[in-house]
């Protein structure tokens, strides 16, 4: 809660959603893992409730070149004490030739009250993404999706 309050007060709200806000915080260089630095910045996007409880976080990582994706997966597997499940596959293509340059799958750790998703290559095909969501944030996302589906016109 303290991190969320400090981020909210120091940096201001970046984006307001139903039931939560996203604020940014910059990690000190000493506290920023190398695999986050390869993403170009040590900025963390914190998801906080209106009463400043931290319910999620995300960070950009470098692209899955060399052994970076394996290194991140090993560290997360060690932390969460089991390997990830495979998720959605991201395919990147050369813009000029259309040749597939990479094909990677999300790595997902589902834990009681927590979901961690590591995407080695994001939609920009230049960076990866690590997203941590608590059960509270997952419920809020589910409610948003339900509201959006209810508002879609029926055929």
Handedness of CA 75, 77, 80, 84 (dihedral sign): positive
What string of pLDDT tens digits covers the 155 residues of the chain?
334 433 444 444 445 556 789 999 999 989 988 888 877 788 999 999 998 899 999 998 876 666 788 888 999 999 999 999 988 888 888 888 888 888 888 999 999 999 999 988 777 777 888 999 999 998 888 888 788 788 888 77
Query: How distant is the alpha carbon of residue 49 from its chain centre?
Result: 17
Q: What is the pTM of this model?
A: 0.75
User: The tokens of 18 are what?
Assistant: 């139903």
């Amino acid at each position: 809660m303290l991190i969320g309050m400090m981020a909210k007060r120091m940096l201001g709200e970046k984006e307001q959603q139903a039931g939560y806000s996203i604020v940014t915080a910059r990690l000190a260089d000493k506290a920023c893992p190398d695999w986050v630095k390869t993403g170009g910045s040590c900025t963390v996007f914190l998801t906080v409730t209106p009463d400043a409880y931290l319910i999620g976080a995300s960070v950009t990582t470098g692209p899955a070149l060399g052994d970076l994706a394996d290194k991140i997966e090993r560290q997360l597997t060690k932390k969460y004490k089991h390997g990830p499940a495979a998720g959605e596959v991201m395919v990147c293509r050369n813009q000029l030739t259309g040749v597939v340059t990479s094909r990677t799958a999300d790595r997902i750790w589902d834990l009681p009250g927590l979901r961690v998703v590591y995407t080695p290559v994001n939609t920009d095909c230049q960076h990866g993404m690590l997203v941590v969501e608590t059960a509270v944030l997952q419920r809020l996302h589910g409610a948003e999706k339900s509201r959006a589906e209810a508002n879609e016109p029926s055929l």
